[in-house]
């Protein structure tokens, strides 16, 4: 089998050698690229003869896949798969696997970190200090705040566990209500109730047709003036034009955003670049040394299991 790793997985060369050692010993060819393809034409050349394609967050669309006549498996080193053409792959009987739950702790910790940064005004205070000023803003604690979690999947529940340790009251809106969530003390409410009650709102749902811009101007206008909005899930969940307007008008207190409609770098005219009280990170929630190595382990386990006829993490 020709296995093409079409972009870096964020692990060292030594780690990659270790994780692919058994596959090579079994006679499989491993081709790994150390940077993303800059054009569609280059990407086609990389993957057209592959039997197995491994990718992280670089898009893999029909325009490229239609050239891959030997393709049997696509192994996504990510939880979300909205950047690959699932319908085309399934119609051509190509197995799709993902790396679910590799970054649960990493994403949850960044979400909490963004909450603390905004509430305690850490970045704002640093900027004041760097400007040589002495009057600093007074922040607020997480203790006693109402945290509204949208989506109580694995990551949403991990955020809840951490927030509970800080002394937050927990409410949630989710398609399904889980006993584990209720055991943590989470109270399930409607989306309308959550938007109106929460001091902090954190998004942890996948991007689907139903969730696209689920937080629009109408929902943002329901938020308290002292509330903040955190998004470490998918950029398309929020209308960022509406969010920027709300921030600049002081309708809400702040936002912590790690994900956008497209991968960074952002275009110069992106509305959040000019928004007040907005802490932004360049899609790094998943990216810790521990999570990236765990992800690579899952990816190569997926290949091994598929080759042995017992596939795992199938989409």
User: What is the mean pLDDT, run by run of 10 residues, along the chain of 315 residues?
Assistant: 97 97 97 97 98 96 97 95 96 96 97 98 94 92 98 97 98 96 97 98 95 98 98 97 98 98 94 98 96 98 97 96
- Could you tell me if 67 and 111 lie in one domain? no
| Buried residues in 153-176 as b, exposed as e (16+ CB within 10 A) | bebbbbbbebbeeeebbbbbbbee
Q: Is 314 within a domain? A: no
The total number of structural domains that make up the chain = 2
The predicted pLDDT at position 134 comes to 83
- Could you tell me if 62 and 112 lie in one domain? no
- Could you tell me if 15 and 28 lie in one domain? yes
- Could you tell me if 110 and 246 lie in one domain? yes
- Could you tell me if 239 and 273 lie in one domain? yes
The predicted pLDDT at position 9 comes to 97
- Could you tell me if 20 and 31 lie in one domain? yes
End-to-end CA distance of the chain: 21
CATH code at position 128: 3.40.50.720
301: exposed, middle or buried (C-beta count within 10 Å: 0-12, 13-18, 19+)?
Answer: middle
Tokens coding 230 = 């955190």
Q: Active-site residue numbers? A: 234, 263, 283
| Domain ranges, residue 52 | 2-102+288-307
- Could you tell me if 18 and 90 lie in one domain? yes
The predicted pLDDT at position 234 comes to 95
- Could you tell me if 129 and 98 lie in one domain? no
- Could you tell me if 152 and 21 lie in one domain? no
- Could you tell me if 12 and 69 lie in one domain? yes
Q: Is 315 within a domain? A: no
Q: Is 312 within a domain? A: no
Distance CA 89, CA 74 (A): 8
The predicted pLDDT at position 267 comes to 96
Q: Are the CB atoms for 196 and 170 separated by under 8 Å? A: no
Query: What angle do the packed helices 13-25 and 289-307 form, to 10 degrees?
Result: 10
Neighbours of 312 (CB within 10 A): 12
- Could you tell me if 16 and 140 lie in one domain? no
- Could you tell me if 183 and 44 lie in one domain? no
* pTM of the entire predicted model: 0.90
The predicted pLDDT at position 239 comes to 98
Distance CA 108, CA 159 (A): 5
The predicted pLDDT at position 29 comes to 98
């Amino acid at each position: 089998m020709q296995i093409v790793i079409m972009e870096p997985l964020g692990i060292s060369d030594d780690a990659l050698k270790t994780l692919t050692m058994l596959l090579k010993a079994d006679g499989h060819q491993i081709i790994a690229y150390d940077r993303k393809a800059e054009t569609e034409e280059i990407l086609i050349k990389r993957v057209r003869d592959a039997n197995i394609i491994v990718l992280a967050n670089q898009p893999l669309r029909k325009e490229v896949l239609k050239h891959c006549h030997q393709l049997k498996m696509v192994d996504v080193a990510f939880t979300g798969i909205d950047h690959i053409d699932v319908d085309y792959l399934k119609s051509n009987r190509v197995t799709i696997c993902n790396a679910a739950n590799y970054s649960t702790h990493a994403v949850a910790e960044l979400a909490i970190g963004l909450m603390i940064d905004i509430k305690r005004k850490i970045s704002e205070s640093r900027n004041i200090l760097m400007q040589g000023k002495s009057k600093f803003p007074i922040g607020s604690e997480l203790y006693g705040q109402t945290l509204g979690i949208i989506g109580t999947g694995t990551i949403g529940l991990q955020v809840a566990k951490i927030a509970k340790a800080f002394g937050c009251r927990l409410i949630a809106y989710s398609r399904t209500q889980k006993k584990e969530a209720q055991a943590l003390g989470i109270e399930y409410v409607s989306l309308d109730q959550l938007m109106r009650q929460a001091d902090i709102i954190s998004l942890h749902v996948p991007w689907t047709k139903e969730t696209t811009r689920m937080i629009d101007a109408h929902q943002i206008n329901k938020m308290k003036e002292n509330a903040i909005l955190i998004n470490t899930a998918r950029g398309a969940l929020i209308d960022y034009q509406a969010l920027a307007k709300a921030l600049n008008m002081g309708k809400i207190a702040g936002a912590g955003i790690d994900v956008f409609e497209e991968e960074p770098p952002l275009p110069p005219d992106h509305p959040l670049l000019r928004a007040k009280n907005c802490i932004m990170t360049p899609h790094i929630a998943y990216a810790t040394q521990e999570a990236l190595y765990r992800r690579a382990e899952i990816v190569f386990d997926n290949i091994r299991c598929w080759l042995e006829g017992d596939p795992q993490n199938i989409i």
